[in-house]
Amino acid sequence: MESTQRGRAMARTAVVDRVEKRYQMLVRFGQKLHGVVRLRPLLTLLADEVRRIVGAARCSIFLVDEARRELWTPVAQGLDARDLHLPLGQGLIGHVVAAGAAVRVADVYRDPRFNPAVDRHTGFKTRNVMAVPLKDRSGRTFGVFQALNKRQGLDFDAEDEGLLRILAGLAAAAVESARLYEELRDSHVETIQRLARTAEYRDAKDTAAHLRSIGRYSRLIARGFGLSDGEVESIECASPLHDIGKVGIRDAVLLKTGPLTAAETSEMRRHTSFGWEILSEAKSPLLRLAAEIAWAHHERFDGRGYPRGLKGGKIPPAARIVAVADVLDALTVERAYKRAWGFEESARYILNEGGRQFDPKVVAAFRRALEPLRQAWKERRSRAPGSR
């Protein structure tokens, strides 16, 4: 009797310990998701964490694209394949979407719903599968969380499935938030691009190409500068507004093809201050970053720039980066008052100006990014006559 009671007590203790461990694991899982607002990094994190938690060899997340009638995955953890696309309604994951219910299959090659084409495409041999739907707040299935091949040759069991359901619920909320964030950000970026094109339209024949190039060059240099992915993306998005202040410059000055007088030069330089005035009171962090760039991208590292004569580290880092990107594009494009320089000639100029016109650290980042910058310039030249 006593031994039986002791056994029951030990069993209850074991259950309590398991529940406590699961609770702590879910708390840590939720904490890791906190603050990850971009979709691809979030999906990568989810796949890696869930693979580890449920003891799977591989984990993938498929999202529904209703317009294209397909399922696609931007991350199939552990596989080389990226952005894998599958017809909607096919395979086990297609069944999960259609039924809105989980599946757990011990031997997939004995299940007629399994699509072996994915294994052939990836080179991975699937043995068993556990997949649960990702559902939005209205209960609509918008994706599938899939775990492949339980480790140590085991099969996924009901406990694994229950755990994956809980994790999928947490993941679905995070994915929904990330998608909403990206939709809002994409809309924001589109507005910035259109605003920037309005500012550049008056004095550039290849406005769209110029703005694309400024953004791309800035991104490549910022990446070489060692900034975080978020900082790099923000600079890429904000940089096209560097000359927004030109909307305040008279056509007689802005469109003049000959040399500017001293008074006209002074007026032209005011576009940096106009840009600051237009953008600086915005609530958006992206527009405030654009304001800094607009105000300071004509400052020089040696302090001889304008409008404030800032020197060295007093110039905002984003403006120091965009200054190099802007000069690279300006040098390599033909204008009525100048010939187009080639990439190598332009690169030599920038490299020689480290410590004078440009921040030496940004110039070092430019040097590290030379090859992708050269490729970006080639693409720019192929699309825009007048570039060299």
Residue 71 Rama label (left phi>0; alpha psi -120 to 50; beta): beta
Residue 252 buriedness (CB in 10 A; 0-12 / 13-18 / 19+): exposed
Distance CA 298, CA 323 (A): 7
Beta-sheet strand order (sheet of 56-65): 84-87, 70-77, 56-65, 141-150, 129-135, 103-105
Cβ atoms of 336 and 326 closer than 8 Å? no
Q: What is the pLDDT at residue 6?
A: 59
Distance CA 1, CA 4 (A): 5
- What does the pLDDT profile of the chain (388 residues) look like in tens digits? 556 655 555 555 555 556 566 667 767 777 777 777 788 888 888 999 899 989 999 998 999 998 899 998 876 544 554 678 888 888 999 999 999 999 999 999 999 999 898 888 888 899 999 999 999 989 999 999 999 999 988 999 999 999 999 999 989 999 998 888 888 888 888 888 887 877 767 666 666 778 889 999 999 999 999 898 889 999 999 999 999 999 899 989 988 888 899 999 999 999 999 999 999 998 888 999 999 999 999 999 999 999 999 999 999 999 999 999 999 999 998 877 778 899 999 999 999 999 999 999 999 999 999 999 999 999 888 765 545 5
Cβ atoms of 71 and 97 closer than 8 Å? yes
> Which residues, 6+ apart, have CB-to-CB distance to 37 below 8 Å?
177, 178, 181
Distance CA 230, CA 9 (A): 52
CATH 3.30.830.10 holds for 37-180:
no
> Which residues, 6+ apart, have CB-to-CB distance to 268 below 8 Å?
249, 253, 254, 260
Domain 201-383, CATH class in plain words: mainly alpha
Q: What is the pLDDT at residue 338?
A: 78
Token reading at 192: 């910035």
Distance CA 141, CA 44 (A): 20
What are the domain boundaries of the chain? 1-34, 37-180, 201-383
Q: What is the pLDDT at residue 78?
A: 47
Q: How many CB atoms lie within 10 A of CB 5?
A: 9
Residue 107 Rama label (left phi>0; alpha psi -120 to 50; beta): beta
What is the rounded radius of gyration, in angstroms, for the C-alpha atoms of the chain? 28
3-class secondary structure for 80-125? CCCCEEEECCCHHHHHHHHHCCCEEECCHHHCCCCCCHHHHHHCCC
Angle between helices 207-224 and 360-368 (to 10 degrees): 100
pTM: 0.68
> Which residues, 6+ apart, have CB-to-CB distance to 336 below 8 Å?
257
